[in-house]
């Protein structure tokens, strides 16, 4: 039986400032707009849900299906390095 493979890669575009990006089968999905330095550092997929950890400006971030959630208050520089979901 044939099974389709979907691959996910977290990273950033190296422009100034950088943008957090998630690639799905080689197609880039911008997580940020490029107004602040940002990077996606980790991705976790569970069924149809995609979680990405990283940073945007001074904020540690979690994106859930592309929806951003700031994990810190942005007063100090912070970033999230990994994400794992338990259901």
Task: Please give the residue range of the domain that contains residue 56.
Answer: 8-70
- Domain for residue 25, yes or no? yes
The verdict on residue 2 lying in a domain is no
Asked whether residue 76 is domain-assigned, the answer is: no
Indicate whether 18 belongs to any domain: yes
Confidence of residue 6 (pLDDT cuts 50, 70, 90): very high
Structure tokens at 86: 């338990």
Distance CA 79, CA 7 (A): 23
The stretch 54-71 carries a mean pLDDT of 98
Hey, what are 3's tokens? 């099974």
**Residue 53: what pLDDT?**
98
User: Helix/strand/coil (H, E, C) string of 10-41?
Assistant: EEEECCCCCEEEEEECCEEEECCCCCCCEEEE
Give pLDDT tens digits for 21-41: 999 999 999 999 999 999 999
| Predicted confidence (pLDDT) per residue in 8-25, tens digit | 999 999 887 999 999 999
Q: Domain count of the chain?
A: 1
User: pTM score, two decimals?
Assistant: 0.92
85 part of a folded domain = no
Adjacency order of strands within the sheet including 38-46: 38-46, 49-56, 59-64, 67-70
């Amino acid at each position: 039986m044939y099974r389709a493979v979907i691959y996910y890669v977290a990273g950033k575009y190296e422009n100034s400032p950088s943008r957090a990006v998630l690639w799905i089968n080689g197609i880039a999905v911008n997580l940020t707009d490029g107004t602040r330095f940002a990077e996606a550092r980790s991705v976790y997929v569970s069924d149809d849900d995609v979680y990405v950890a990283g940073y945007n400006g001074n904020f540690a971030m979690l994106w859930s299906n592309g929806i951003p959630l700031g994990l810190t208050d942005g007063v100090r520089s912070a970033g999230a390095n990994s994400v794992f979901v338990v259901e």
